[in-house]
Amino acid sequence: MAVTMTNLAYGRDADGRTKLLNDLKADIGNAKKELTGSNLTAIITAVDNNWSGADAEKFKKELKEKAESLQKSFEAYSAIIESSLTQDATGFAKMQSKL
């Protein structure tokens, strides 16, 4: 049985790691955008238009806090990914130097 590869988007070279890192950062950036701006404003506007009282204000406050928390988590995740890819590159280079 043979394996035929016709397209490889990511490889074990510097360009492949850079492309992977850039793609992951772009995806994380897109996810962060979904939690802010017009999407968050639309939800808050809908709450304002259809819900009133202390519970509505509490809901909006918690929603904003959770969105901010998720944004910070995404930022931390991005740093973890970058660090992991750097460690992988270092380990791979060491392994290659021993061969």
Question: What's the CATH code of the domain at 90?
Answer: 1.10.287
Closest CA to 36 of 76, 60, 77, 71: 71
Q: What is the pTM of this model?
A: 0.63
**Cα angle 83, 84, 85; round to 5:** 95
* Domain that residue 64 falls in: 15-94
User: What is the spatial distance between Cα 70 and Cα 9, in angstroms, rounded to a whole number?
Assistant: 29
Report the half-sphere exposure of 60 (CA within 13 A, side-chain side). Answer: 18
18-71 residue pLDDT tens: 888 888 888 888 888 888 888 889 999 999 999 999 999 999 999 999 998 988
Residue 7, in any domain of the structure: no
Number of domains in the chain: 1
Rounded Cα distance between 74 and 81, Å, is 10
pLDDT score recorded for residue 65: 93
**Which pLDDT value is given to residue 57?**
95
Domain assignment present for residue 9? The answer is no
